[in-house]
Chain A
Amino acid sequence: MSQKDGSGFQFNLQTTKGNNMKKTLLALAASASAIMLAGPAAAQMDQVKACFIYVGPVGDFGWSYQHDQGRLFAEEHFGDRLETAFLESVPEGADAERAIERFARSGCNIIFTTSFGYMDATNAVAARYPDIKFEHATGYKRDHPNVATYDSRFYQGRYIIGQIAAEMSETGSAGYIGSFPIPEVVQGINAFMLGAQSINPDFELKVVWVNTWFDPGREADAARALIDQGVDILTQHTDSTGPMQVAAERGIFAFGQASDMIEFGPETQLTSIIDDWGPYYVERIEAVMDGTWEQQATWDGLAEGHVVMAEYANMPDDVKAQAEATEESIRSGAFHPFTGPINKQDGTEWLAEGAVADDAALSSMNFYVEGIDDQLPQ
């Protein structure tokens, strides 16, 4: 009997795992049948098959949703010349490698893996399929000539919203809901804080990490906790609309993430940093068709239209004008959000007066700038 009792717990754990795996397998089966229906891929390169792996559901209305919008944009652009397939909610880790491998075997010419956690899996599969092009979003490893990486300079938008936050906050404090302490997210927090400090040097930022990209309930809980502690502006680096809705409920301002979330807070959303992947997907698929595809590390922002700011709403005209001016100066290259003097959290100098951070430093950022009252989880 005692054995039986013990197994009750184990059992639950195992089945959770099994569930994830089965879900992936099911998704694989579904995509396999879709591929069969579509018929064999043409040998000529004027017919390309592009495949996409998403970390969340396409209906998250955030990160994965925007990537899928990019896929649809490419489909629209190329018409019959392009065939696409996607797998959604693919967990980062071992499952991801299987999913990518499955796509590689199913005749995809180019595979976009759209989450940071797919980095090693993407490179591992790329080693085995040298003829297939791999594009990994937000990563930095390009171990093989057929792996390219791409990312957007979201921090540019985050600097702008930091400025808006400092202008709009009455308490002088904002709440930031973080997913995982990876460089991309830390960059965003620092950019936001630098923007806010440019308006109000004493601005306070409270950071809560939820350790998930997507859990509307937990993101909403984090939003409530932050509001209860007195912040009156919310921003997030997680993928759901949960926090926006809580902000609307409690009557404070918030910034959308990845997509335009104005519907969830018509009187709440100040602006949103929108990811627009469509043009990039078109460009890279085009390169495969022309045979001009080359390994590269793309990191585009406002200037190239990869980062788009949603309409500046719910703010006075002067704040709006300032935001637009900052946006323009970043777009034109006149201003870089990470321009010195910038100190690290412990007060040591990171960038000297007038110095601008290089991309390598930004993409490996693992520290907070001065003024953030939180310990960065390592």
Chain B
Amino acid sequence: MGFYEAVLISVMTAATPLVLAAIGELVVERSGVLNLGVEGMMIMGAVCAFAGAQISGSPFIGVLCGMIAGGAFSLLFGFLTLTLVANQVATGLALTILGLGLSGMIGESFIGLPGVRLPVLDIPFLSDIPVIGRIVFGQDLLFYASIGLVIGVAWFLFRTRAGLRLRAIGDNHGSAHALGVSVIRVRYLAVLFGGVCSGLAGAHLSLVYTPQWVENMSAGRGWIALALVVFASWRPLRLLAGAYLFGAVSIGGLHAQALGVGIPSQFVSMLPYLATIVVLVLISMDRRLTLINRPASLGQPFVPER
């Protein structure tokens, strides 16, 4: 494995959990719901994926457990905000706090155990292509899932009737309701999808990124994912670009330090955030398009009138 190959793979590993969590949240926000509990769902996914893999011995069952945990946790959010119409911001924050605490409790007996790593899935023949083969076709399941999800979500949102309906709900839930679209049902599905994606992101952390369980291992990645959604102006492909840029600058900064380039380390730590903000602001310079993309009823509660 050459130097550049190794660096690129590190970048992809760093970006994948962000892509997974952010693409889920993008769908949630497109449906008009703001779920700030990404960090909480992610960490629950991480601990349950690790626990599932440890107990069953299979990392694939671990991934499944992570998805279920993230999904179940998001349904709690759904029940509180959609059925009981609780404040979305407060509930999302509570979900994060609860997730961080609960995961610590669940994970207590798993601290200090070496994990099971999710194997690399080599796609025959394609992975033998020089340079790009190993990078694009020799990754783990969750990397393919992240790319597949971005393409799938882009297609779903902008090329299907169901996607149009979801966006309509996010823009004006009153009108969508009047047209006979089941606002609550669609939002439940969107929230569930977001939870499963966050769970996958968590599974990536505890089965691929650093195959182990330690408390608070998500270390704020859920919040970065949330910010990415806003900066990508709710566009899936921009989101992918943003996540990879973030990963590239953050890995690049570490390399620059190791080479002894003499950039202050505090600046290097700040750089990924700065670069991502600048670039995404530049690509969404067209204010009209940004306004069109922003779900107009984001975060507003919906109570169907009889």
Contacts and interface: CB of A to CB of B under 8 A. Distances in A.
Contacts, number: 162
Interface string B206-223: 000111101111011101
Contact of B230 (A1, A12, A263): A12
22 contacts: A5-B287, A12-B227, A19-B223, A57-B216, A60-B215, A61-B112, A89-B215, A206-B259, A207-B258, A209-B268, A216-B212, A217-B209, A217-B210, A224-B13, A226-B254, A228-B10, A240-B210, A240-B217, A263-B112, A263-B114, A374-B260, A375-B262
B220 A16 contact: yes
A23 B96 CA distance: 9
A228 B269 contact: no
Interface residues of A, number: 58
A264 B104 contact: no
A206 B97 CA distance: 38
Interface in B224-281: 226-227, 230-231, 250-251, 254-255, 257-260, 262, 264-266, 268-269
B104 A12 contact: no
A206 B261 CA distance: 11
B97 A220 contact: no
Interface residues of B, number: 59
B28 interface: no
A245 B257 contact: no
Interface in A22-55: 22-23, 26
A218 interface: yes
A23 B97 contact: yes
Nearest to B204: A217
A316 B230 CA distance: 55
A226 B258 CA distance: 6
Contact of A228 (B6, B97, B112, B217): B6
A19 B97 contact: yes
A5 B3 CA distance: 42
Contact of B107 (A8, A59, A218): A59
Contacts of A224: 6, 10, 13, 251
A60 B221 contact: no
A9 B258 contact: no
Given A212-B269, A228-B10, 16 more contacts: A4-B294, A9-B230, A19-B93, A57-B215, A59-B111, A209-B268, A211-B265, A216-B205, A216-B209, A220-B210, A221-B250, A225-B257, A225-B258, A226-B254, A263-B113, A374-B260
Contacts of A58: 215
B178 to A, nearest CB: 23
Contact of A59 (B7, B39, B214, B220): B214
B128 interface: no
Given A22-B97, A211-B269, A225 B251 contact: yes
A275 to B, nearest CB: 16
B14 interface: yes
Given A57-B104, A373-B260, A15 B89 contact: yes
A229 interface: yes
